[in-house]
Copies of this chain bind each other. A is one copy, B any other.
């Protein structure tokens, strides 16, 4: 399991639920659209501060961006 893929999948899902485009989320976060796209594709390794800003923009708890189905080990 790659945590970057987990976060990317969750960002895409919550962004959809919030009815936001990638452009819209990027604007809320103060980054460009390409960053959001890379994040959703699991190609970014954001810091916890960036993860926090992403969660605030999506109006969800930051821990929700790290949730995944299935066992830990």
Q: Oligomeric state, in number of copies?
A: 2
Binary contact readout A21-44 vs B (1 if CB under 8 angstroms, 0 otherwise): 000000000000000000000000
Q: Does A13 contact B (CB under 8 A)?
A: no
Which of B4, B46, B48, B59 lies in contact with A66, CB distance below 8 A? B48
Closest B residue to A64 using CB positions: B63
**Which residues on B sit within 8 Å (CB–CB) of A52?**
3
Give the distance in Å from the alpha carbon of A62 to the alpha carbon of B66 in the complex.
6
Give the distance in Å from the alpha carbon of A48 to the alpha carbon of B63 in the complex.
11
Give the distance in Å from the alpha carbon of A58 to the alpha carbon of B46 in the complex.
21
Chain A residues in the interface with B (C-beta under 8 A)? 3-4, 7, 45-49, 51-52, 56, 59-67, 72-73
